[in-house]
Amino acid sequence: MNYKEIAEIIIGLKNADLEFRDKLIQSGQLSDGYNEEMKELHNRNAKTLNEIIDKIGYPTTIKVGEEASEAAWLVIQHSIGQPEFMKKCMNLLEVAVSENEATPKNLAYLIDRIAVFEGKPQLYGTQFDWDENGNLSPNIFDDLTKVNERRKSIGLNTLEEQTKKIREQAINENQSPPSDFEIRKQEIEEWKRNVGWTK
């Protein structure tokens, strides 16, 4: 299988993911916890991408082109039920970034996502969730000034600007906060333990 064929497979994985997400938005189900079908789709995509990565290494732009490389990153970001796979990809992405073969922005999102799942403060403030007041807010981070400095260094807007943008997007997608914040928090903690993010 050549790189062009591999690129097409990776783009196909991303398209299936986004189409299903769109379906959930249309039916107003995106905010109803982690949809079972979506979970299966994410796990299937992760398995396929993992097999590709074992063959060709991280799908950098040089190997598979920009669109497929971005698609691979999205699949990795969404493989939240696969801690080992996500961490493996983060390590590979760090190497790719250091060799100027991948974008620091994508690495920042992945580092933050893993930190949030492990219950650690994020460094770039890229991950958001509903707070107890029913607003989408950044997950815990270490220090606002430092976060904004790190964001600026990789070409991201300020955390304040991003918060506004994320909240506007949620309104456009008809997302709504969980009906019971505490129950949802417990469900997330339980899910993190079950898949192996926390003990």
Same-domain check for residues 139 and 72 = no
Domain membership flag for residue 35 = yes
Same-domain check for residues 141 and 170 = yes
Same-domain check for residues 90 and 126 = no
**Helix axis angle, 3-26 to 36-56, nearest 10°:** 170
Q: What contacts 151, CB < 8 A, 6 or more positions away?
A: 108, 124, 125, 157, 158, 159, 162
pLDDT, residue 24, reads 87
Report pTM.
Answer: 0.93
Same-domain check for residues 40 and 79 = yes
pLDDT, residue 82, reads 96
pLDDT, residue 35, reads 85
Domain, as residue range, for 172: 120-199
Domain membership flag for residue 109 = no
Domain membership flag for residue 107 = no
Helices (H), 79-180: 83-98, 104-117, 144-153, 159-172
pLDDT, residue 31, reads 65
Same-domain check for residues 84 and 158 = no
Same-domain check for residues 38 and 94 = yes
- pLDDT tens for 111-158 read 999 999 999 999 999 999 999 999 999 999 999 999 999 999 999 999
pLDDT, residue 76, reads 98
pLDDT, residue 25, reads 82
pLDDT, residue 186, reads 92
Domain membership flag for residue 113 = no
Which stretches in the chain have pLDDT values below 50? none
